[in-house]
Amino acid sequence: MNEKLLSCPFCGAKVEMKHEFPADKLYSVWCENDNVCSVVCHTIERTEEMAAENWNTRYYPPEVQEVIEAAQRVVDCQAVFNGVFEAVEKLADKLDAYKEMEAKHETHD
Ligand SMILES: [Zn+2]
């Protein structure tokens, strides 16, 4: 399975994908924290991908959702900045190479 499973929304523990009924190709996601987390967290779907998507789809309180979305915007901005920094570094390298080439020409003249 490619999709990463989020941790349990109630206790933060790792979760496990179980293939419970092989004949019907049904999957479920379980919180591994059986001793402390009293909530049974599971979803049953026909494919692992669908089960993972269901598990990873959360409904947060509005104030929490706002923070998550703001954090995502920061992450997106960081990606843009990284792209700009890479471009500037490449330009700086090219400028250095040009200056070197120019300096060699000057010494030969
Ligand atoms: Zn849990």
Side chain identity at residue 93, one-letter code: D
**Range 67-76 average pLDDT:** 93
Q: How far is the CA of 11 from the centre of ligand 1 (A)?
A: 4
Per-residue model confidence (pLDDT) at position 107: 67
- Ligand 1 centre and the CA of 7: distance in Å? 8
Average pLDDT for the chain: 85
More confident of the two residues 4 and 26: 4
Distance separating alpha carbons of residues 100 and 21, to the nearest angstrom: 68
For 15, the token pair is: 């979760």
- 36 alpha carbon – ligand 1 mean position (Å): 8
Name residues with Cβ closer than 5 Å to ligand 1, which is an ion: 8, 10-11, 13, 31, 33, 37
**Sign (positive or negative) of CA dihedral 32, 45, 43, 71:** positive
Predicted TM-score (pTM) of this structure: 0.52
27 Cα–ligand 1 center, Å? 18
